[in-house]
Amino acid sequence: MKLDFNNVNLEKINSYEEKAMTAFDTLMGKTGEGNDFLGWIDRPVDYDKEEFERIKKAAERIRENSDILVSIGIGGSYLGIKAVDVACDSYFGSDRKVKLIYAGNQISGQYLNELLAYLKDKDYCLNVISKSGTTTEPAIAFRFLREAIEEKYGKEEARKRIFATTDSKKGALKELADAEGYETFVVPDDIGGRFSVISAVGLLPLAACGIDIDKFMEGFAEGRDLYKEKSFDNPAIKYAAIRNMLNEDGKGLEVLVNYEAKLKYIAEWWKQLFAESEGKDGKGIFPVSVNNTTDLHSVGQMIQDGKRNLFETVIEVKNPVSDLTIKEDEDNLDGLNYLAGKTMSFVNKQAMEGTTIAHVKGDVPNIRIEMDDVNEKEIAKLFYFFEIAVGVSGYMLGVNPFNQPGVEEYKTQMFKLLGKPGYENK
């Protein structure tokens, strides 16, 4: 990966170096708030090799007896998985042996009802992912899906088709898995949900659908080598510093931009990573995303001419997997003959460059992240880059980047409205 900060005014950036390096020391020295959730830092080289091999064997069994794996989880137990899944799959007619389908990531009776109907004539397995086993969305989905799979296959066969990724020692799901004999994998105690795709949380479903998890881990390890360096030239540190500089200049909203639709769910994962990490104590840089050129015809107007409180981080893919060359048309009714002989990726790149010029002229600073390709290794490096950056950025903001206390408040009010015992007076 390469980062380009040429479209940001860096006149004041050196005044942020000391604060950024102090935040980096806090992160890597594990001396700040949330330091008990930093297991992801060294996980690329320090992971349970025995569990890793069990994951690959379980994934092979799933591929042997199923067309579908239903991944049941929400937040960090969903977004990282789907980001890699979508980015590495083809748009149409996937040739994967196992298709990943997601459940428990929202509360829609219609969605779950249609999923249950869809699965009736399919061979499938379930991977329920929850540290506690009591998180509302996945718990509801698992209750219905467990009943359906037991009815389809019988309890004995269903036990072999249900995999639980949960706490190593305690919790409702762990208790159920032990009682029923489900194969279990561990949600690590020292890795928060939005960082957990590097653990069994992400590795089992990704391996089952055909992602090369050896390459995925190699990518994380390469990212670790790149972004653990203590230097203000470290792009992850520089990115964090620039974000904070722009925020203090009134640019409190960051737009992650892609020009390749495969990256849509990487942006969704990124939004959770930065929103849950930084949005505390009345602070935080608000993360949003756009998919261009599509969104240039909608929110592009707001970015170009709206309130000047934002900056953009653009992800550019240098080498598309495939491409098309535009041909000359004899009638030229659409007026496109000026593009004859040019590839669609070339046109897309000029759209990106033109948009950058226009937005920078409109006082929207632009950061550019260049990826050579979209594959397991490159995505893992990108993930690790953002994870180091959010840790540094969060400490620079003066918040604990590794908790999410605000998430609990909606649950409290929802449980009160639903009449959950113990929430009557909340």
Q: Which residue in 183, 268, 276, 387 is the catalytic one?
A: 276
**Domain-terminating residue out of 211, 226, 247:** 211
Please check whether residues 360 and 262 belong to one and the same domain. yes
Average pLDDT of the segment spanning 178-196 = 97
Tell me, yes or no, whether 38 lies in a domain: no
Residues 57 and 171 occupy one common structural domain: yes
Q: Work out the average pLDDT over 392-402.
A: 98
Q: What percent of the chain has pLDDT over 90?
A: 93
Return the HEC string of the chain: CEEEEEECCCCCHHHHHHHHHHHHHHHHHCCCCCHHHECCCCCCCCCCHHHHHHHHHHHHHHHHHCCEEEEECCHHHCHHHHHHHHHHCCCCCCCCCCEEEEECCCCCHHHHHHHHHHHCCCCEEEEEECCCCCCHHHHHHHHHHHHHHHHHHCHHHHHHHEEEEECCCCCHHHHHHHHHCCEEEECCCCECHHHHHHCHHHHHHHHHCCCCHHHHHHHHHHHHHHHCCCCCCCHHHHHHHHHHHHHHCCCCEEEEEECCHHHHHHHHHHHHHHHHHHCCCCCCCEEEEEECCHHHHCCHHHHHHCCCCEEEEEEEECCCCCCCECCCCCCCCCCCHHHCCCEHHHHHHHHHHHHHHHHHHCCCCEEEEEECCCCHHHHHHHHHHHHHHHHHHHHHHCCCCCCCCCHHHHHHHHHHHHCCCCCCCC
pLDDT tens for residues 27-70?
999 999 999 999 999 999 999 999 999 999 999 999 999 999 99
Task: Say yes or no: 172 and 230 in one domain.
Answer: no
Q: Do 285 and 362 fall into the same domain?
A: yes
| Last residue of one domain, picked from the residues 180, 211, 242 | 211
Looking at the structure, do residues 61 and 27 belong to the same domain, yes or no?
no
**Residue 418 in domain:** no
Instruction: Examine residue 292 and state whether it is found in any structural domain, yes or no.
Output: yes
Answer whether residue 356 shows pLDDT above 80: yes
Is there a domain that residue 198 lies in? yes
- For residue 411, the model assigns a pLDDT of 86
Do 92 and 195 share a structural domain?
A: yes
265 token code pair:
């769910």
**pLDDT of 14:** 97
Strands ordered across the beta sheet of 253-258: 2-7, 366-371, 310-317, 253-258, 286-291
**pTM for this structure?**
0.96
> Which has more pLDDT, 415 or 287?
287
Tell me what percent of the residues of the chain surpass a pLDDT of 70: 100
Tell me: do 198 and 338 sit in the same domain.
no
Q: Is 97's pLDDT higher than 80?
A: yes
Q: What is the pLDDT of residues 219-263, one digit of tens each?
A: 999 999 999 999 999 999 999 999 999 999 999 999 999 999 999
Q: Clarify whether residues 50 and 27 are in a common domain.
A: no
Does 156 lie in the same domain as 108?
A: yes
pLDDT band at 93 (very low <50, low <70, confident <90, very high): confident
Residue at 419 is within a domain = no
**Is there a single domain that holds both residue 169 and residue 247?**
no
Residue 332 lies in domain: 2-33+217-406
Choose the catalytic residue: 19, 215, 349, 411.
411
Q: Does the residue 27 lie in any domain?
A: yes
| Residue 373 sits in the same domain as residue 279 | yes
Give the other-Cβ count within 10 Å of 426's Cβ: 11
Question: Which of 175, 193, 211 is a domain's end point?
Answer: 211
According to the model, what pLDDT value does residue 408 have?
A: 78
Is 276 an active-site residue?
yes
Whether residue 159 is found in the same domain as residue 195: yes
Q: Is 341 domain-assigned?
A: yes
Mean pLDDT computed over every residue of the chain: 96
Residue 329 included in any domain: yes
Q: Say whether pLDDT at 210 is over 90.
A: yes
Number of domains in the chain: 2
